[in-house]
Amino acid sequence: MALLQISEPGQSPLPHQKKYAIGIDLGTTNSLVSIVRSGMAKTLADEQGRHLLPSVVHYCKEGMRTVGYEAAAKTLSDPLNTLSSVKRLLGRGSGELKTLGNEMPYEFEVDGIGMAKIKTAVGLVSPVEASAEILRSLVSRAESNTGSSIDGAVITVPAYFDEAQRQATKDCATLAGVKVLRLLNEPTAAAIAYGLENSNEGIIVVFDLGGGTFDVSILKLSRGVFEVLATGGDSALGGDDFDHSIAEWLYGQTGLDRSLSPKEQRLLLETSKAAKEELTKSDRVDIDVLDWHGTLTIEIFNEMVQTLVDKTIRACRRALRDADIAKNEINNVVLVGGSTRMPIIKEKVEQFFGLEPMTRLDPDRVVAMGAALQADVLIGNKTGDDMLLLDVIPLSLGIETMGGLVEKIIHRNTTIPIAKAQEFTTFKDGQTAMSIHVVQGERELVDNCRSLAKFELRGIPPMVAGAAKICVTYQVDADGLLNVSARELTSNMESHIEVKPSYGLAEGEITQMLQDSLTSAREDMLSRALREQQVEADRMTEDLLAALNKDAEALLDKNEISCLHAAIEELNKLRKESTEHRLLARQIEAVGKLSENFAAKRMNASIKKALKGKSLDQIENNQ
């Protein structure tokens, strides 16, 4: 008789068979892949011993594709077919093309669903396709290092990536044939690398400034639990913007106009990037570009990028406020991302938090290392009992209700994964369908938030207004991806949608949404109060007119009917013209009192009709 071995969930059925899971930092400027060996996370090098892989893809007319250093070498000679910084385009739509077109020397086109694509020698290429090439290259490197196929990967994303950008990242992995174990926020990955290595407990700030994105996260580490208390940042702020600042300065110094060729634009940007990197280790750099010779000093550079640095500090201040944490409660500040090598960044961060930042781990590699540690747990090579991750959702998720109001279902900075349900009802008698509009943002009105998705729930049994019960459930998984379902509780009719918007938020829009929610708090409160009264006025008008049309002649005299119609007319006038919710509320109350006599007569008439032709004994027996 043979024995059949049954493995634990997530564990290999063969006791000595190791599964290979990797951590991938898909970066704007450079990408890395890491794996756990002998309990330690290590980034993997290519055949030349280089750990970083430039996030660059080159397409040639013959259909060949090169990735990394070989592709980066084509940047100046073939700029239109050499795609870099494509992470900034992930999940973004045609609305950002104008801005992106000014920053990148590419020719853009928009497809049928609003996705930005780039014209290349092999045709239109989406950011998802280009990023998939980078992922394939990283997986190939891992397979060469391990001599085995890869069973899964944890891929990191900026904490401030919205639903569209996270979904686009997952699409990249699917296209590359990579099994995604989890999307992990980059700051959380860094905290894993530092926290597990040093066994720290307390409050940690992760300041992550990469090539194209910026995140700041406030994390609480306690007994192996990583809890993200708050997160903030800008998904369109990074080292590339510092390069563009130098490029703008060079335009002014050289007197060049804006009609440079793509090759000249690329040369200017590459020169700017090289100058920025040189200024991380010296006080001045000599520049020779497009027949111009000059010197850029660290003082001039610091002055020109001050606005960008201030943006990062403002985000830190907001994150502290959201976490309800004082600066003196912070134990450590961790710098992540190659752009934190700029002296002004370290100086301003230390000045703001009053702590010398931790830089023991390579800021370029720390995110990939943390991802590998998490991947090792998820694939089943190591028990996860000693490590629990509690990430948060960056922006509130809500639903549109009558009057264009937003009812928040899951509030920002809520720990994920999370599932929340809320009951709603119908507005009109006999209503058999309901439109579900999913929105994201912090404001009170739908017009001021971002639309994520719309779907319909049909087959609701016809009932009087307010009788139906529709349970709407929002589920955000560990990757930060959203599923919404709606179910009518009487009939069990159900509909659902996986939120997969085809475009992302515009540059700085997330930050702007948060700022607007604070500066417009009172205005939003008043707007919401007005909308609520307008909805109540519409409901009262519709119900009362229906009742008058049915029973007015039988129950009221002409004077009473005239008075009610006049009150309704005044209510409708106020509904359209008044911007003061209190005036509208008073008129609603007045109409309600005026119609009380009519409501009482209708009820009496209804009771008489129900009792007509029945004896007292019959009534008592029914009871």
Q: Label each residue of 178-196 as H, E or C.
A: CCEEEEEEHHHHHHHHHHH
Distance CA 254, CA 268 (A): 11
Residue with tokens 């009362």: 544
Do 293 and 161 touch, CB atoms closer than 8 A? no
Active-site choice (78, 87, 241, 408): 87
Active-site choice (103, 133, 163, 208): 208
Measured between alpha carbons, how far is residue 265 from residues 77, 184, 229 in Å? 12, 35, 42
CA nearest neighbour of 446 among 455, 435, 437: 437
Active-site choice (186, 240, 241, 479): 186
Distance CA 595, CA 427 (A): 20
Residue with tokens 């686009």: 168
Distance CA 183, CA 172 (A): 12
- Computed from CA positions of residues 350, 353, 358, 364, in that sequence, does the dihedral angle turn out positive or negative? negative
Active site residue 103: no
Active site residue 208: yes
Helix (H) or strand (E) holding 37: strand 30-37
Length, in residues, of the chain: 623
Amino acid at 59: Y
| Joined tokens for residue 612 | 């007509």
Distance CA 178, CA 152 (A): 7
Do 165 and 93 touch, CB atoms closer than 8 A? no
With b for 16 or more beta-carbon neighbours within 10 A and e for fewer, the 183-212 pattern comes to bbbbbbbbbbbbbbbeebeebbbbbbbbbb
Active-site choice (25, 129, 234, 391): 25
Active site residue 78: no
Could you tell me how far CA 570 lies from the centroid of its own chain?
A: 45
DSSP 93: B
Active site residue 329: no
Amino acid at 578: S
Helix (H) or strand (E) holding 487: strand 482-488
Helix (H) or strand (E) holding 399: strand 397-401
Count of CB atoms situated within 10 Å of the CB of 463: 17
| Joined tokens for residue 165 | 């950008």
Amino acid at 339: S
Do 207 and 317 touch, CB atoms closer than 8 A? no
In the sheet that holds 482-488, the strands lie side by side as 418-424, 470-476, 482-488, 494-498
Which residues belong to the active site?
A: 25, 87, 186, 208
